Amino acid sequence: MVSLSVSLTTFSHSQLLHSGAVLSGLQTMAFFTHQVIRGLSSSAVRNAAIKHVTIIGGGQMGAGIAQVAATTGHSVVLVDTNEEILKKSAKGIEGSLKRVVKKKFADKPDAGAEFIAKVMANVSISTDAASVVGSTDLVLEAIVENLKIKQGLFGALDKVAPAHTIFASNTSSLPITDIASSTSRLDRFGGLHFFNPVPMMKLVEVIGTSATSQETFDSLLAFSKALGKTPVSCKDTPGFIVNRLLVPYMMEAIRLHERGHGSKEDIDIAMKLGAGYPMGPFELLDYVGLDTAKFIMDGWVEKDPDNPLMQPSEMLNKLVAEGKFGKKTGEGFYKYK
């Protein structure tokens, strides 16, 4: 369209006035050119694979996603405000890859070393998100579960990221719609909820809002598959699929114990042996983090205070208030040495 506009300026005012046929022809050409460009642009967006990924957050989730993306040939920039965290993350990724090598390249040490070097070459680190998003296809956030902080991050990056860049959040509990509201790219915003530990867990919940375009959603599905994951499509509802079922189950286990209807040990054994679950609800709560479980429930209670499945637990609140978050603090429902 720019070249067409330039060609129009080469016609003098009198030529345009006395050549209706030429003007009509140019208008027709402009219409069809516009349609062709729109078609090409849409096709390019539809078919463009995500190759360059910027991951915000150097914690366990962010580092895990970075490892998987780098292993599958994506160019990854891992961003955090703390350089020490980034160095620790990079070291953690390399350590995780060494464990992979022990299994996959047990008899081929040279091939294993080459594999690690190749994956690590796909990973770079930065403390300045705004400076690295200029050529990225996807910005994926995996930071603290705080709506205002997430909105502030995406609002700032929206001003500097290219128009084609897709934004996504790894939130496990906050509405994607609320996070996206700080940006002007509502059609290019979605959710990618990974599970911990990311290199091991196969599932990714792909969340679309009412404003997420089909092209964006398809790109997020394709990206998840390119990582070797199995994606499931989710609506932007509290907890999406897994946590919407899992968190009420864990909370009901706590209430069962609070009522004196079962010890935590017996409840865990019952669910492992009776339902075939690898962990009981109290073991799982300690693994996930009692603070995380409380945060999710508090958010749900605020949104839907009359829902009996989303009522708080005095026992959970007491443990969190005492700083007993589970395995990461050495004590939760169980004690860890």
| pLDDT, tens digit, 9 for 90 and up, residues 146-165 | 999 999 999 999 999 999 99
Residues 78 and 91 in one domain: yes
pLDDT value for 290 = 96
CA-to-CA distance for 334 and 17, rounded, in angstroms? 87
Residues 38 and 168 in one domain: no
Whether 243 is a known active-site residue: answer yes
Q: Can you say which residues are annotated as belonging to the binding site for CoA? A: 96, 103, 172
Residues 228 and 267 in one domain: no
- Between vectors from CA 251 to CA 201 and to CA 306, what angle results, nearest 5°? 120
Decide if pLDDT at 2 tops 60. Answer: no
Residues 81 and 7 in one domain: no
Residues 76 and 96 in one domain: yes
CA-to-CA distance for 2 and 24, rounded, in angstroms? 19
Catalytic pick among 141, 205, 215, 283: 205
Q: Can you say which residues are annotated as belonging to the binding site? A: 57-62, 80, 96, 103, 145, 150, 172, 196, 328
- Give domain status of residue 335, yes or no: no
For position 200, which CATH number holds? 3.40.50.720
Alpha-helical segments (H) within 168-289:
176-180, 214-226, 242-258, 264-274, 281-288
Q: pLDDT class for 337, splitting at 50, 70, 90?
A: confident
Number of structural domains (the chain) is 3
- Give domain status of residue 336, yes or no: no
Q: pLDDT class for 303, splitting at 50, 70, 90?
A: confident
Residues 217 and 301 in one domain: no
Whether 205 is a known active-site residue: answer yes
- Give domain status of residue 154, yes or no: yes
Number of C-alpha atoms within 13 angstroms, CB side, residue 291? 12
Residues 169 and 300 in one domain: no
- Give domain status of residue 334, yes or no: no
Strands, sheet with 203-208, edge to edge from the N-terminal-most edge strand: 123-126, 75-79, 52-56, 138-141, 166-169, 189-194, 203-208, 230-235
Q: What are phi and psi of 332, to 5 degrees?
A: -150, -115
**Secondary structure (DSSP) of 115-140:** HHHHHHHTEEEES-HHHHGGG-SEEE
Domain-terminating residue out of 172, 207, 235:
235
- Give domain status of residue 258, yes or no: yes
Catalytic pick among 74, 122, 141, 193: 193
For position 288, which CATH number holds? 1.10.1040.10
Whether 193 is a known active-site residue: answer yes
pLDDT value for 78 = 98
Taking alpha carbons only, the member of 297, 317, 316, 318 closest to residue 308 is 297
What is the reported pTM?
0.82
Whether 172 is a known active-site residue: answer yes
What rounded mean pLDDT belongs to the chain? 88
Residues 218 and 292 in one domain: no
CA-to-CA distance for 141 and 155, rounded, in angstroms? 12
Residues 225 and 166 in one domain: yes
Decide if pLDDT at 308 tops 70. Answer: yes
Torsion angle (degrees, nearest 10) of CA 34, 36, 39, 44:
-110
Residues 219 and 325 in one domain: no
Catalytic pick among 89, 219, 224, 243: 243
- Give domain status of residue 240, yes or no: no
Catalytic pick among 89, 122, 169, 172: 172
Residue 10, domain extent: 2-47
Residues 181 and 276 in one domain: no
Domain-terminating residue out of 235, 265, 291:
235
- Give domain status of residue 20, yes or no: yes
Residues 256 and 208 in one domain: no
Task: Map residue 75 onto helix, strand or coil.
Answer: strand
